[in-house]
Structure formats: structure tokens, C-alpha cells
Structure 1
Amino acid sequence: MFGPRASRRVQGLQQALRERGLAAAEVVDYQALLSEPERAAEAIAGHRGALVKLESPGEAPALHAALIERGWQRHGATGPAPHALEHGELAHQHYWYAGFADLLRALPADAAYLNPPDDIACMSDKLVCQQRCIGAGVEVPPLLGPVEGYEHLRERLHDAGCDQVFVKARYGSSGAGVLAYRRNRAGRELAYGSAELADSGGRVRIFNSLRPRRYTDGRDIARLVDLLALQGAYAERWIAKPRAPDAHGGHYDLRVVALDGQARQRVARISRGPLTNLHLGNRRGATEAWFDCVAMQALEAATARAAGAFPRSRMIGFDLILRERRSWLLEANAFGDLLPNLLWRGRDTYQDQAALAPSPPARSAPDRLPAHA
């Protein structure tokens, strides 16, 4: 396994392996690969035929900074070096992606990856990912295209005859850098998202916040969009989410995890606002209680279609809107398996991954290699 050794994701899979009686996976930290790239080939060669998982580089601030530096170097190291980020600051995402994509390209091609490096690179660039899905015949919210700044966004809206969009960071995750934007004929604007503007020492910055904010001042909205666009942003039409069929209200979308193209763990993410990410304090809904057989079949068919855009990736988290037997893919996430306490037929996502490994070796053969690298 490649990833930050101390992350919750790595620990989740290690626990699932222990529960199954398997040896712990060998972990090679991405940070080590930045200075010793040959360690990747050595680890894979030492566990020939083993399943190799490439984990999210998140939950590791030093690694995040190192990937930004690497990406800046790959961009030619022109202009001032990227400033050090404060906790929660959203900046330099285009450099981060360039560094991470460069690291992925350096990995050996001939390994049994859970999700291969090039698929992960594609899914980590959300605009390219959506374009790939369109090419595979998967319906997504109509794209308005890249956004270079606030004035360019207004041009995009005018050309598309559209007044409600989501402005999304190309390289963000967990709702970071997502703005739900709408305007009316009188020119009044509203932007809603988890981004917090901060003005310090004459420099305006963006921070992620667990408390979503509403912006109605056009100057603040312009600054938000401009700062996001500097790091890579795009716009897509705002698709209305269905109303939750219970007494608590709100609207929902779906997170569904596909394993080998088949829908497994699934949950409705319900919010009274436009952003449904669960870490923002939104609530879960049980699709098994809400959906009849027809709706469940539609969910599973939509998941299978989305997975078809990435036939070599074995486990992907999909965000979907399912409404009146029609579906839209909002996002494909190569690292969409961090869903604590969400089971499907008795297993969580990490237990599903551990089950892909061979059974524990017999006592008479203690020299069997570990099942994962």
C-alpha cells in the first residue's frame, strides 16, 4: 500500500486485514517516494502478484506541502515560491495536483493496482474526469467549462443562458472550493459554500470551514471566484436534488461505492443547503428504507454505467443524483471509501478490500507473502 502511514484510511484497511487473519499490508509512504522513487518498484517486486492500493495523500500536511513544491517545480518554478499554508487554507491546488500527478506517473505500470495511477490522476482532476465520463456516455450536469475568474464566469453564464451553477475547484476534495452560485434578473447574487474569506495583512485568502457560508456582496463573491480560478476552477449547471422522503426535510444526493462495477455501500446525504458533504454536519439517509425495487435497480444501473468509464479501477466512490428514473454523475472519487460504519451485506469498504486477498495461509506454510503491498 502507498499512502500516509498514519492516515485513517490506511489504518482502516490494516484493521480489516487483521480481522480477516491476514498479515498487515506493507506501507510505503508517499513522502519517501519523493526522494527515493525506486522504493515503489522494490516494494512491488517484493510482493509480486499482490494487490496494490494507492491511498489518498490527505491527512498529511508535510506531504501536501511537498507535493505543492514538486508541482511548482514541474510548472517551471516561475514567479514567487508558493507560500506556506496555514491550517485549513485553500491555495496552490494546481501545484498540488501537478506534484501528485507527477508522483503517480513515476509508479511502475506492471502492478495489480486496486485503482491504477492514471485513473487516479484523472479522477483527481474533476473537469477532466467529467469530460471522460461524458465520452463514455455517462450523463453529468452540463458543463459550462473552465472559469478564469469572476468576469469570465459571468460571460459563461450569459453564453449558456444560465443563472444557477456550481463553481468547483478542479483539484479539490470533500467539498473544498465548491460554490453554489445563483443570480436573478435584478442582478442580485448569492454564493454558498464552505469557503471562508480572510483578509490578513492586505492579502485575501480562502480557508475551508465546517460551517458553510452565504455571500451576497458582489465584491466578496468576485474575490472568491477569482481566488478559486487561480488554482483551477470550472462551472457546471445546478441540477436540483430530490427532496428527502421523511419528516426532517432537506434535499439529498447519493454516495455509492462500486466494487468491480457493482454498487455496494450506499448512503443518501441530506442537507438543507446546496452542499451535501457529510463532514459539513449533514445527515445520512438509508436508501434501503426509501427506495423501492425499481428505484434501487435504477441506482445500481447508474452506478454500473459510471464505473464503466473506469473499467480498470476496482473500487470507486460515486456521487449521484437520481430523480424520476434519470441520473446525473456529480463526481467520481478514487478515494471515496472513507465511510465509517456504512455497511452493505455486513461489510464496510475496507472489509470488501480485505476480502479481495487470498485466505489466510495454513499454519504449515508460514512463509507465504502478505496479500497486500
Structure 2
Amino acid sequence: MPLNFIVIANPENRRVSFLQQALEHFNLPAAKIITYADLIAGKAKLDCFNYPNHIIRFDSPERNFETEKAVLAMGADIAGSHRRISKEDLVNLEFDKGRIRYPRQWYLGWKHLLQQWEKQIQCRVMNSPADIITMFDKPASHQLFVNNNIPVARSLGIINSYEQLKEAMSAQNCSRVFVKLANGSSASGVMAYQIYPRGESAITTVERVREDGETLLYNSRRIRNYTKSEEIADIINILSLESVQVEEWLPKARINNRPFDLRVVVIAGEAQHLVMRIGKSPMTNLHLGSDRDNYDTFISIVGQSNWLKMKHTCEAAAAVFPNSLYCGIDLLVYPDLQRHSIIEINAFGDLIPGTTYQGMDTYTSEVKAMLRRMNEEL
């Protein structure tokens, strides 16, 4: 009985083509594509794929404005203190590139959808909807890591405003923190904030725009450094309405006087693909213009024995999500090149084109692992 993969995705997303290439590598049929738009609208259902030879993969719902609005609509009636937009107003919402709008409502809608879809599924999945929900929730995944003795930065707890943040930092003797949208991704709404004896600064991907007496926030690839208290307070107060994760800002190892961290993809319990992300700021995401380097360079810096300890930590973090075949781990290495800490986990963190492990890219490795797992179950 041939294997059939079903991928839930926005069809224009390049992730789909990488999966199709991986399936072709193993002479498997091309995956059937179910669009998020059709699934959300009820034009497609997942219970028709409940056969032993079917495998469902959820991929990122990114970069599709109509899908974004549909997810927001699903979260429109879910209560909370976050900013909300009604279903009626969503009809007329226009695309505004980079605008940070209703991220908490989006997450609540996304969570609701995943929970509904999980009820339809009785076949195999590459990553379970329940795991995806938690990986998208930074405070929840952070707490899971704490509970499982996995090294992470110290959390400062629930923060609802700029003033509350400063009070928490003072009470916990912490002068540098990262403020992150609780349900953000790709460095959206991330701020590296620090307090000096005579001032403060916020290095961030957020662009603050004042328009008609209102503050608008945008994601930007140009890193900004705000030093005026009123501007910093404005940004933090808006982000806090959407729920934030605040963590101690840990020092990173450096290469050529630039900070670096790692994206590590764990597949079937094994840390495989690795890319160094060498930043020009505290944020090292590759789409922000960071440089990249490979496994050999990294090993030449930290040594094999240190890497084996880091590898074990990445695998332990992935093991917290036993119903997911793969995940992306952002790993911080301290300046001593020995200690390390998990920055966060990413449900869709396997998109690192050009990086291979044993001659295979991440998608090919994932399909290989899925085939092996199924053969072992037979």
C-alpha cells in the first residue's frame, strides 16, 4: 500500500516545493495539498484521510493575508484583554505590510482551529496539532522546559506594562531583558531592553510610527535603537496588551566580535541540521541580515565534547513534545563556549535551505525518518 502525504499549507509557500522534492527523492507520490483557506472555510476536511498509509503534515500558515484574516476571524469571539477586531471589521481590513495587528487574537484563532482539526484526525501526523499549539506559546513552552530541567533564561513573570516591567527588573536585580510577543514568530515584536544608570535603550525589530495621534507598530528588517523613555514605554505598553514573554537577556558567544547562536533542527529525536546565525544586533534571525556559517566552523570554535552536551539539550527539549517528528531549536551559547541555554522552540523551524545532514536537507531527512518509523511499526 503506497504512502500518501497530505500537506496543509498555503500553496504558494516554498516549503511545499521542498516537501515535494523530498518525496520525489524516495519515489513517493507527490503530497496532496489542502489549503488553509479551504480547511478554514470547511470546503475540505481531514477525516477523509484516516487510513493507515496516510500522513498529514501541517506547515506554516505564513505570508497569506486572506489566511491571516480567516484565522483572526476564528479568534474574534474569544474573550481576553488583548486588542480585538470584529468579524465585520475584518471584511474591510486592508493589507499593511509588516504591521503588527492583533497577534493574540490570531493565536487564539489558530489554537481553536488546530484543536478542531485534531478531532478529525485518526491517521499519522508529522507534528501533532497539540504540540504546535504549545510551541507557538512562548510562556507555556518555557515553563515546560523549566519543569523538565532544560536550561532556559530566567523568566520575569507576567508583565502588563512598561512600569510593571521596570518594577520587576528592579525587584529581580535584572538590568537586561528580552521582551517577546508570547505568540510571535520570526522576531516579530522582539525587543532587547536594558536600563543604564543614566538611561535606557530598546534594540528592536519594531518600527514605531505615529499617525493621526495613534501609534502603529511595524515589523522591520532594519534594527532600531530607541533611547527615549516615552517611545520605549509606548511600544512596551502596546506589546504587553498582546501578552509578552519577558526573559533575562543572556550574553552570547561571539565570533569576529559579533554575537552568534544556533538554529538546530531535531528530527526523530536526533539533533541533525545546524546553522550558526551571526548577528549584527542581539537579534540573529537570518532574515534580518545575519550571516550564517556551518557545523564545521561551529565545532572548530566550541569543540566536539561541548557540542555533544548542547546536542543532548536540544534533543531533551524536543523530547518534551513526543508527538512531533521534528522541530527547530534556537540555542544560545555563552561566551565561555561551554554553558548553553534554549532560547525557544519552533514548530515550523525546519526551513534552513542549503544546510544538509548526511547529504540530505531537512525535508528529505524528515521523510526518511517518517518512513523508518512506519517500517518499525509494521
TM-score, normalized by length of structure 1?
A: 0.90
Amino acid at match of 2:68: H
Given candidates 268, 287, 308, the residue that maps to 1:297 is 308
Contact 2:38-2:44 at 8 Å conserved across structures: no
Which residue of the partner structure matches residue 244 of structure 2? Answer: 233
Which residue of the partner structure matches residue 39 of structure 2? Answer: 33
Given candidates 43, 57, 61, the residue that maps to 2:61 is 57
Alignment of 1:267 onto 2:275: yes
Alignment of 1:70 onto 2:74: yes
Alignment of 1:166 onto 2:172: no
Alignment of 1:205 onto 2:213: no
How far residue 109 of structure 1 moved from its aligned partner, in angstroms, is 4.6
Structure 2 CA distance for aligned equivalents of residues 300 and 90 of structure 1 = 34
Amino acid at match of 1:4: N
Amino acid at match of 2:188: A
How far residue 161 of structure 1 moved from its aligned partner, in angstroms, is 1.3
Amino acid at match of 2:308: Q
TM-score, normalized by length of structure 2?
A: 0.89
Which residue of the partner structure matches residue 330 of structure 1? Answer: 343
Moved more, 6-15 or 234-243: 6-15
Alignment of 1:128 onto 2:140: yes
Structure 2 CA distance for aligned equivalents of residues 86 and 275 of structure 1 = 23
Which residue of the partner structure matches residue 48 of structure 1? Answer: 52
Structure 2 CA distance for aligned equivalents of residues 299 and 137 of structure 1 = 14
Structure 2 CA distance for aligned equivalents of residues 11 and 146 of structure 1 = 40
Contact 1:136-1:308 at 8 Å conserved across structures: no
Contact 2:100-2:218 at 8 Å conserved across structures: yes
Structure 2 CA distance for aligned equivalents of residues 195 and 79 of structure 1 = 20
Contact 2:155-2:248 at 8 Å conserved across structures: yes
Q: CA RMSD in A?
A: 2.0
Which residue of the partner structure matches residue 106 of structure 2? Answer: 96
Which residue of the partner structure matches residue 367 of structure 2? Answer: 354
Which residue of the partner structure matches residue 30 of structure 2? Answer: 24
Moved more, 105-114 or 117-126: 105-114
Structure 2 CA distance for aligned equivalents of residues 157 and 350 of structure 1 = 42
Structure 1 CA distance for aligned equivalents of residues 111 and 317 of structure 2 = 22
Which residue of the partner structure matches residue 318 of structure 1? Answer: 329
Amino acid at match of 1:118: A
Alignment of 1:221 onto 2:232: yes
Amino acid at match of 2:115: R
Count of aligned positions = 353
Structure 1 CA distance for aligned equivalents of residues 298 and 46 of structure 2 = 45
How far residue 172 of structure 1 moved from its aligned partner, in angstroms, is 0.6
Q: Give structure 1 stretches of 5+ with no counterpart.
A: 360-373
Structure 2 CA distance for aligned equivalents of residues 38 and 354 of structure 1 = 24
1:132-211 counterparts in 2 under 5 A?
132-186=144-198, 188-211=199-222
SS in 2 for 1:143: coil
Structure 1 CA distance for aligned equivalents of residues 318 and 83 of structure 2 = 39
Contact 1:130-1:140 at 8 Å conserved across structures: yes
Contact 1:139-1:328 at 8 Å conserved across structures: yes
Which residue of the partner structure matches residue 354 of structure 2? Answer: 341
SS in 2 for 1:332: strand
Structure 2 CA distance for aligned equivalents of residues 220 and 289 of structure 1 = 40
SS in 2 for 1:331: strand
Contact 1:138-1:329 at 8 Å conserved across structures: yes
How far residue 155 of structure 1 moved from its aligned partner, in angstroms, is 1.7
Q: Residues 39 and 251 of structure 1: is their aligned pair in 2 closer, same or farther, counting only changes over 3 Å?
A: same
Contact 1:91-1:231 at 8 Å conserved across structures: no
Structure 2 CA distance for aligned equivalents of residues 122 and 15 of structure 1 = 29
SS in 2 for 1:39: coil
Amino acid at match of 1:201: D
SS in 2 for 1:355: helix
How far residue 353 of structure 1 moved from its aligned partner, in angstroms, is 2.1
Structure 1 CA distance for aligned equivalents of residues 371 and 148 of structure 2 = 33
Contact 2:83-2:242 at 8 Å conserved across structures: no
Structure 1 CA distance for aligned equivalents of residues 85 and 55 of structure 2 = 41
Which residue of the partner structure matches residue 263 of structure 2? Answer: 255
How far residue 79 of structure 1 moved from its aligned partner, in angstroms, is 7.0
Moved more, 346-355 or 176-185: 346-355
Q: Residues 22 and 263 of structure 1: is their aligned pair in 2 closer, same or farther, counting only changes over 3 Å?
A: same
SS in 1 for 2:58: coil
Q: Give structure 2 stretches of 5+ with no counterpart.
A: 1-6, 373-378
How far residue 15 of structure 1 moved from its aligned partner, in angstroms, is 2.0
Which residue of the partner structure matches residue 368 of structure 1? Answer: none
**Percentage identity across aligned positions?**
31
Structure 1 CA distance for aligned equivalents of residues 73 and 250 of structure 2 = 37
SS in 2 for 1:353: helix
Q: Residues 172 and 296 of structure 1: is their aligned pair in 2 closer, same or farther, counting only changes over 3 Å?
A: same
Q: Residues 79 and 60 of structure 1: is their aligned pair in 2 closer, same or farther, counting only changes over 3 Å?
A: closer
Amino acid at match of 1:97: Y
